Structure 1
Amino acid sequence: MDNKLIFKVCSKEKMLVKDYLKQNEDLSSRFVRKSLREGRIFVNSKKTNKKTKVVKDDIVEVYMPLEEHQNIEPQKMDIDVVYEDVDIVVVNKRPGIVVHPTKSYPYNTLSNGVLYHFKENGEKCIVRLVSRLDMDTSGLILIAKNQFSHMALARDMDKEIFKKKYIAIVHGNIEKDEDVIDAPIYRKEDDSIKRVVDSRGQRSITRYKVIERLGEGTVVELTLETGRTHQIRVHMESLGNALYGDSLYGKGEEDSHLIKRQALHAYKLQIPHPRTGEIISLESDIPKDMKELKNYIKEKKTE
């Protein structure tokens, strides 16, 4: 697959190429403007400008930038690539890894490893994160490999077909087999990372379904309809069912002999492919530490 987008104009009316791409092909204004400015849009193999018009059956080609740079140092790392093509890569993140470099974690992040992966494959991509996970949350992370795919995925994130599902192991026996938590999340203090359920916060929606009851714990599947910071952890704590190992919202120290981090794994990702619209559905099994925790709670139940 070439690193370009190809469209056959189906509009009956004559219109500016920039308007056609925005209105008929759902490309963002920013993406179209940048592509025009850099001379990467062609109509019938001829370079265009902002005054170029298209008619029915014209062929429009939008080329991706050949080379991009990012202020992240590539580092050789053992990353688990679950899916990859010219537009996206999905990585199964281990717990304990920061996703993107920060002042506190400038190296050994997932982004350092992914950038090295691109370099090894001869791809001059930068890391465009579509989804993120906390340092101690494991699971699937979606990364765009070019500006177009990042734009398209960000645009589609609010569509029903775009799904992110998690598995968590929580304290206690959740009363309902499934339900929707619709509770606003608020940050009470600017200097604190902790969030709470509070009427002053942003509307936050989490759907949950009980997968297995373990006695003193419950395995639960969670689907995010909004994407607030710590949303799952805050919502489950608000029910009285904090995640095992959660040092911020639960009994982290008490659980430390069972698991060293919050028992949360992003196990399923369903997306429309940014280029083709094909539905891609990916899953990853819960890691070893969550399996061991689950078995421990089950065995305790039978004692």
Structure 2
Amino acid sequence: MKENKLIFRVAAEDEGLKLREYLKSKQKLSSRLIKGAAIEGRITVNEKITKLNYVVKHNDEIGFNVAKEEGQNIDPEKMDIEVVYEDIDIIVVNKRPGIVVHPTKSYPNGTLANGLLYYFKEKGENCIVRLVSRLDMDTSGLIMIAKNQFSHMALARDMSNENFEKSYLAIVHGNMKEKQGTINLPIYRTGGDTIKRIVDERGQESVTHFKVVESFNKGDLVELTLETGRTHQIRVHLTHLGHPLYGDSLYGIEDDSDYIERQALHAYKLKFPHPRTGDILNLETDIPEDMKELLDKIKS
């Protein structure tokens, strides 16, 4: 793998800035990232390791090596991982339902993070798992992981960018009265001893855009795009409207196990600017088999 280095060429109008200021204000790197790289000697000017108080000159070549030795207290485990996109900075995978994303007390092993660490190790890449997005255990679909500190910083920074979109497909009970629109209702955690959320004026602003893709006899297939990313946002918003997801054991209104064994929610599309190039990436996955089977069941 080629050296993982960012290269910047100082423009005439930026001459006279200190190296620290140039990297922060012009290249939009975080103070933490800059400081760590400087301490470890990973920043060069014209191929020489340079201190952050150096005053940059027109045409200086700034090198910023994002590769670093690091570890993570997670056991690598062999796992089938469906890679949708991968390069030196990021990996996007299609998560199966029933998989926890990151180890917890209840799920210390068998998580996506365990599988990813094994995958990186097999490829000879010294990466840890830096999650940019997360999904509930029983939600399937696209998850983005940064492969270095720089890409994690850049993606987190750009999440509010209009070119950063996360879209889902859901199958809901009943036919929605409005075929498209925006749900702007605050979401609140009801208490410390529960993970359940509700729509409540005490909560955080939560915005979900929706569009009915197709209507069936016993429900709708709905596309949803998140403007905010609150815990259980889609599930809470749709339940509040009277159209809970099929299979949602936490927010549903009835036992749907005859239809599907998990909430019918799939993160099917990601759109975002690449952290290194700024090019817009559009990634999609097909709706999974259990949700296709559910659609057949609710047609009649």
Trace 1:234-245 onto structure 2 (pairs within 5 A).
234-245=236-247
8 A Cα contact 2:5 2:67, kept in partner: no
Provide the C-alpha distance between the structure 1 equivalents of 2:176 and 2:126, rounded to a whole number of angstroms: 48
Q: CA deviation at 1:65?
A: 2.9
SS at match of 1:151: helix
Question: Which sections of structure 2, spanning at least 5 residues, go unmatched?
Answer: none
Provide the C-alpha distance between the structure 1 equivalents of 2:159 and 2:212, rounded to a whole number of angstroms: 25
SS at match of 1:180: strand
RMSD of aligned alpha carbons:
0.9
Q: Which amino acid aligns with 1:266?
A: A
Please give the per-residue CA displacement for 1:223-271, whole angstroms capped at 9, x wherever unaligned.
000000000000000100000000010135x201110100000000011
8 A Cα contact 2:184 2:206, kept in partner: yes
Question: Which sections of structure 1, spanning at least 5 residues, go unmatched?
Answer: none
Q: Which amino acid aligns with 2:189?
A: R
Aligned to 1:45: 47
* Alignment CA distance shift 1:48-1:246 (3 Å): same
8 A Cα contact 1:244 1:251, kept in partner: no
Aligned to 2:277: 276
Q: CA deviation at 1:11?
A: 4.5
Trace 1:135-154 onto structure 2 (pairs within 5 A).
135-154=137-156
So what's the TM-score if we normalise by structure 2? 0.98
Name which of 152, 156, 159 aligns with 1:157: 159
Q: CA deviation at 1:276?
A: 0.4
Trace 1:148-187 onto structure 2 (pairs within 5 A).
148-187=150-189
Please give the per-residue CA displacement for 1:131-153, whole angstroms capped at 9, x wherever unaligned.
00000000000000000000000
Q: Which amino acid aligns with 2:235?
A: R
Q: Which amino acid aligns with 1:284?
A: T
Provide the C-alpha distance between the structure 2 equivalents of 1:43 and 1:53, rounded to a whole number of angstroms: 10
Provide the C-alpha distance between the structure 1 equivalents of 2:72 and 2:241, rounded to a whole number of angstroms: 42
Q: Which amino acid aligns with 2:244?
A: A
So what's the TM-score if we normalise by structure 1? 0.97
Name which of 111, 116, 119 aligns with 1:117: 119
Q: Which runs of 4+ in 1 moved over 3 A?
A: none
Q: Which amino acid aligns with 1:59?
A: E
SS at match of 2:221: strand
Provide the C-alpha distance between the structure 2 equivalents of 1:60 and 1:48, rounded to a whole number of angstroms: 9
Q: CA deviation at 1:38?
A: 1.2
SS at match of 1:255: coil
Provide the C-alpha distance between the structure 1 equivalents of 2:283 and 2:52, rounded to a whole number of angstroms: 40
Q: Which moved more, 1:2-11 or 1:235-244?
A: 2-11
Q: Which amino acid aligns with 2:37?
A: S
Provide the C-alpha distance between the structure 2 equivalents of 1:181 and 1:117, rounded to a whole number of angstroms: 39
8 A Cα contact 1:245 1:251, kept in partner: no
Q: How many residues are paired up?
A: 298
Please give the per-residue CA displacement for 1:182-210, whole angstroms capped at 9, x wherever unaligned.
00000111111000000000000000000
Trace 1:52-71 onto structure 2 (pairs within 5 A).
52-71=54-73
